[in-house]
Structure 1
């Protein structure tokens, strides 16, 4: 902190620079109530629990003399100016709210003002909704969830102000991992970034040479360690702890040098500014847990399998042959802190999860998902990718923009699985009926896919490029259908 300013963290500054017209670095969070919200009561609660507690909500971003970015707190900004009231057109259902959110998805936040806005919505199914939009530079997705929860109460009666909601909001694919990597991870990350950039440039002018170079570079990076790992894997099915992460680490090197399994498909192209939003009816979380137990899988494995099957069905309807797609999956790198530090910020990595989209059988898909998720968890991909992000942030704007686009375009978008509170919560005396959110995407990524559980229910939502993903609602509808098939097959096996 200097003269009322606080320098943005390395990751915070990186996300600040990554806005582009078709894909803004803005996290969109939504919750809704069955009864209308008293907006004066809402304003009083949010002012006390967000505005007064977290200086970043009262701050703007400014350039320092050294060229770096700083948060500068302003005394002339008002909470009320960060909100707008909207009344949904009749009949005030899902379609109208989804259209409203989609229209805001590409509206940039003014850099001369605090980088967030709240849209207060009336006439949604006879109740209310709140769309909270905040730039990724303020905080990562896990902290955004905590921020949202911090304005909620455990009962309809107004509760005493709390620092933040003490609920488990980070598990599964987004769980905290050990960021301490073995020696050589930083070197590997630096080499992978440089290699990826060089290969991308050479592939344009000399594709054959570039292909040969990738093989040569990969062999050089892995060296004799890869040979020893393959030998060990062949000799012993139960790996000792020291070798448990080797398969995942080999995958990490391959993803950063050769690239990911992300086939060209119906949605491949340059994103535009017309977006589409959809979400599905909720699924009972207990039903998901029952399927997971039957297959000795995690809840996250089951849900991600349904994502893969949904994309399989969507692509088949659109007559596209595609064997695999890759998602960027955020992984929290710090332990969950129920106190929520006032400086917020970003502390996560993006791992790349490759999902099969060519299998008709959900059970076979579940098996593939379990293996690939297991390799990521046992390896050090999150730590390496965090090192890559740190290196990218120190490059010149032109170079890191190129590098970020290169790595991001190896995935179709961002997939988040956020287990929220499993008890009903209230805001300004009104019960929260459902929650949803969408992470930002970058480069030419076409989808943000969110799995959010709350109060014993699983909600699934998608934010997509309207031109590249026509009939986008088929994706979330397909998720529900895929779970139904997986549940039936599970019942058939047990019966």
Structure 2
């Protein structure tokens, strides 16, 4: 660690994009929360974070030259007491009030941009995590949480090995001349990678068709995104403010969701996303605001990491635009519509195209970055993320984690994000929304629960087996 204390590391283009997307009305900050089965000793919590989170060197680093050539640099005044602190609720504040306040408050860019806040209730503790998206995506952060927690509180695990990531592939001329040279350098590296792939094709001619098919689809999906018209103008779209509101609902039993998915012949994700669509439909109908086109678009992250253990932090995911069938009244038909939409996207190259756009935002001039950001935000009304967490209970600092929740940031002018997380046999659903767009985020989470109950009732009343089986 000491030898690396003076080393500067360049942010990847995609990580830099998330840094550059930050704005006062839409902070690029991931928020998470653990609800524990008792009170946690603050010093013991700090010891766990010191040994099992700070073993990843990235969390001792801050960003320097954020608006020029951003680099990671070790914080010479690193203070764990600033990053891990107890937070007393203000008079009359609920846990949702406290979490919403934290979600609306920017992290200090002069320090490593993460904090843990311990909030004690009468009988138990909640632990709220805030971390800037440039440090990692949800898949990377799950690896960090896994490193900090135990499956057996009596036998805590040893600290994990550091994740060093990949070496910077930029040439010296790119580092000197900055973003314009980086754009050209990225293109040249892509050409070299394609040339390497071509050499492989001489030895494996059968791969030619697959590469050609993927190349055609990449071009097609790039055209689809470029030609996409702005999403329907509902009350979800509009000017944003600084205040955000966080909400969550009672967890759903994962076995029930799986059983429902089996009956309907679709995935667990299809069922849950359809419930989100149903909740939005009901909320919009209340103000007679269901779009004439009968759909709303959602931005859905797609993991692009290779199978196997996580080897680096940072961001490695693409995005797809999914049509949410908010105009479909029947809950079962809504599930089938989501299933068809997701099936069409699963084999497309749209996530890679979106990943490339994000990378471009990380190195492009400011006006180009703003245009890309505005276009992405205009083409969707909501961000929906679904993450598969541990299937067994975990413990932190000796306390069992009863529930895990998280909330994702939204880019540009998108004012609402929905987060789904499975953990220990239950599914948690949370919403973070801009107060100017959705004054009461809990209204959406309640309707999500209602939609699931309605879908389950419809499934119980269905003919079995279905006539088309």
Taking structure 2 as the reference length, the TM-score comes to 0.83
**Can you list the C-alpha shifts for 1:112-133, whole angstroms capped at 9, x where unaligned?**
111111111111x620011111
In structure 2, what is the equivalent of residue 122 of structure 1? 120
- Closer/same/farther in 2, CA of residues 460 and 49 from structure 1, 3 Å limit: same
2:17 counterpart of 1:14: yes
In structure 2, what is the equivalent of residue 304 of structure 1? 273
**Can you list the C-alpha shifts for 1:363-389, whole angstroms capped at 9, x where unaligned?**
111111111100100111111222222
Q: CA deviation at 1:481?
A: 0.9
Whether the 8 Å CA contact 1:266–1:468 is kept in 2: the answer is yes
Runs of at least 5 residues in structure 1 that lack an aligned partner in the other structure: 165-185, 191-239
Q: For the residues of structure 1 that align with 2:260 and 2:69, how far apart are their CA atoms? A: 50
- Give aligned pairs, total: 416
Runs of at least 5 residues in structure 2 that lack an aligned partner in the other structure: 162-182, 188-208, 465-469
**Aligned mate of 1:330, from 301, 326, 332:** 301
Q: For the residues of structure 2 that align with 1:469 and 1:429, how far apart are their CA atoms? A: 38
Tell me the SS of whatever aligns to 2:53. helix
CA RMSD of aligned residues (A): 2.8
Whether the 8 Å CA contact 1:158–1:428 is kept in 2: the answer is no
**Can you list the C-alpha shifts for 1:67-98, whole angstroms capped at 9, x where unaligned?**
4111011332121221221123577xxx7111
**Aligned mate of 1:282, from 246, 251, 259:** 251
Q: CA deviation at 1:63?
A: 2.2
Q: CA deviation at 1:251?
A: 7.7
In structure 2, what is the equivalent of residue 132 of structure 1? 129
Q: CA deviation at 1:336?
A: 4.7
Taking structure 1 as the reference length, the TM-score comes to 0.78
Q: CA deviation at 1:390?
A: 2.3
Q: CA deviation at 1:58?
A: 1.1
- Closer/same/farther in 2, CA of residues 241 and 294 from structure 1, 3 Å limit: farther
In structure 2, what is the equivalent of residue 68 of structure 1? 69
**Aligned mate of 1:107, from 100, 105, 108:** 105
2:349 counterpart of 1:351: no
Whether the 8 Å CA contact 1:248–1:376 is kept in 2: the answer is no
Q: CA deviation at 1:330?
A: 1.1
Q: For the residues of structure 2 that align with 1:422 and 1:394, how far apart are their CA atoms? A: 39
Q: For the residues of structure 2 that align with 1:263 and 1:297, how far apart are their CA atoms? A: 27
Tell me the SS of whatever aligns to 1:461. strand
Tell me the SS of whatever aligns to 1:442. coil
**Can you list the C-alpha shifts for 1:335-366, whole angstroms capped at 9, x where unaligned?**
2543x44x511111121111111111011111
**Aligned mate of 1:432, from 376, 385, 401:** 401
- Closer/same/farther in 2, CA of residues 250 and 391 from structure 1, 3 Å limit: closer
Q: CA deviation at 1:441?
A: 1.1
Q: For the residues of structure 2 that align with 1:246 and 1:272, how far apart are their CA atoms? A: 41
- Closer/same/farther in 2, CA of residues 37 and 310 from structure 1, 3 Å limit: same
Whether the 8 Å CA contact 1:261–1:325 is kept in 2: the answer is no
In structure 2, what is the equivalent of residue 377 of structure 1? 346
Whether the 8 Å CA contact 1:248–1:375 is kept in 2: the answer is no
Tell me the SS of whatever aligns to 2:135. coil
Runs (4 or more) in structure 1 with deviation over 6 Å come to 240-251
